[in-house]
Amino acid sequence: MGLFGSLPFAERAGYSTQTEAETAQRKTLPSTVQLNQYAGAAPCRNFAMWSCMVYNSTDDPLDHQLCLDFGLILSVISLTYLIICFPVGLCYNVLLVVVNLSNKGSMTMPDVYFVNIAIAGLVLSVVAPVELLGPRFTRWPIWDYNNEIYITLLILFNISSLVVMYSTTLLSLDYYIERALPRTYMSSVYNTKHVCGFIWGGAVLTSFSSLLFYVCNHVSTKIIECSKMQNKEAADAIMIFIGYVVPAVAVLYAFVLILRIRKEATPLDQDSGRLDPSIHRLLLTSVCVQFVLWTPYYMTLLVHTLVSHRELYLYISQATIYYFLGCLSQLLAFSSSFITPLMYRKMNRNFSHKLQRLLKRLHCGEQGCAHERSEVQQVFT
C-alpha cells in the first residue's frame, strides 16, 4: 500500500460531497487524503479536523481512534497552556515592560531588545486564547470565527514572530559591537530604541505583503488583480525567508564574530563600561531558546509550501499525525511569550534591583522615601 491513492476528501471551505463513482472507488482504495487540499498557510491553519467528523463507515476505525486520541492530547495541552503558561507569561511580560520603562536611566542595550520581545509576547498573548480555544486546537471549541478574524490573527502572529526573531538577531549583532567597540556608542540605548521602532515597521510591512495574498485568497476570483495573486504559498515563502532564513544566517554570523573576539584578550576587557558578563549567558540562552521554539513552526510551514504544488496523498492516519505536529509546532511558538520573560527574570542580575526600586517608589509615592531624600541631600551637601 503506497502513499498515493484516491481522490481528496477535503477542500478549502470544508468537506466535498462524493459522487457515486468516487464512493465506489473509495471502497477499493485505502483511505487517503490529499495534503495540499487542506486549507490555510500551514498545518493546523483553517482546518477543524479534531471533531473527527470526516470519517465514515468505509474508513479504518483505527484512523478514527487516532484522530480522537490526538485531538484529546492537543486539547489537554492547549488547555494546560491557557491555565498555567498564559497568565504567567502575560504577567511577566507586563512586569518586564513596566519595570524597565520605569527605570529608563538604568536601561542597557539588551534591556531595550528584551522589552521589544516582551511587547511582541503580549501580542502573542492576545492571539493565543482565540486560537487555542477555537476548533483548530481543541475538540470542544468555545467559538469559531470567520475568515476576517482568521486573517487578523494570522497577521498579528506573523508580526510578532518577525519582531521576536529580528530582536534576537540584532541583539546578537549589537552585543558583538559592544564587545568589540565599547566606546563608539553604535549600540547605545538611544540607537537601539530607534532600531526597535524600525523592527516593528519592517514587520508590519512584511506582513502586509502576506496580507495581500491571504485577502485575495478569500475574495471573488472575478477581481482580476486579486485572482493573479491567489498564491498563499508565495506569502508563506516570504515569511520563511525573511522571518527565519535571514535571522538564522545573521545569528550564526554574529556568533562566529563573538566567539572570535572572546578568544582574543584585549585591554578593553577590563573596561568598566562594558556589559555585565551575565549578559553573554542570557544572550546565548535567549537565542537558542527562540530558535528551538520557532524552528518547528517554520519547518512545518516549509514542508507545507514545498508540497502544495504536488498531488501528494497521505493515509488518513499519516495526515492526522502531520496536522497534529503542525498544531504542536504553533503551540511551541506561542510558548516563547511565556519562556522568554521567565528566562530574563532569572538570568538578569539587575532586574530584581529595578523591581525593588519600582516597588519602593510605588510604596513611598512621588516624593520618594525618607532615606532616599536624605541620601540626595547628603550628595548636594
- Report how far residue 210's alpha carbon sits from residue 239's, in angstroms, rounded to the nearest whole number: 8
Helix (H, G, I), strand (E, B) or coil at 186: coil
pLDDT of 3 over the 90 cut: no
pLDDT for residue 205 = 85
pLDDT of 109 over the 90 cut: no
- Report how far residue 330's alpha carbon sits from residue 137's, in angstroms, rounded to the nearest whole number: 10
33 — phi, psi (to 5°)? -140, 140
For 286-339, what is the HEC assignment? HHHHHHHHHHHHHHHHHHHHHHCCCCCEEEHHHHHHHHHHHHHHHHHHHHHHHH
* Beta bridge mates, 33: 314
pLDDT for residue 160 = 94
Burial of 214 (0-12, 13-18, 19+ CB in 10 A): buried
Query: Model confidence over 273-320: pLDDT tens digits?
Result: 556 667 788 888 999 999 999 999 999 988 888 877 666 666 777 778
| Architecture label for domain 20-349 | Up-down Bundle (1.20)
- Report how far residue 322's alpha carbon sits from residue 270's, in angstroms, rounded to the nearest whole number: 53
pLDDT of 220 over the 80 cut: no
pLDDT for residue 136 = 83
DSSP assigned state of 264:
S
Instruction: Please state, rounded to an integer, the average pLDDT across all residues of the chain.
Output: 76
Query: Model confidence over 254-274: pLDDT tens digits?
Result: 999 888 887 665 554 555 455
pTM score of the predicted model: 0.79
Query: Model confidence over 49-107: pLDDT tens digits?
Result: 666 655 555 556 777 788 888 888 999 999 999 999 999 999 999 999 999 998 888 88
Query: Model confidence over 351-360: pLDDT tens digits?
Result: 888 888 888 8
pLDDT of 335 over the 80 cut: yes
Rounded to an integer, the average pLDDT of 183-187 is 60
Rounded to an integer, the average pLDDT of 139-162 is 83
Would you list the domain boundaries of the chain? 20-349
Contact yes or no for 110/275 (Cβ under 8 A): yes
pLDDT of 375 over the 50 cut: no
Query: Model confidence over 111-128: pLDDT tens digits?
Result: 999 999 999 999 999 999
- Report how far residue 374's alpha carbon sits from residue 318's, in angstroms, rounded to the nearest whole number: 71
Query: Model confidence over 7-64: pLDDT tens digits?
Result: 232 333 333 334 444 444 444 344 555 555 444 445 565 445 666 655 555 556 777 7
Rounded to an integer, the average pLDDT of 136-148 is 78
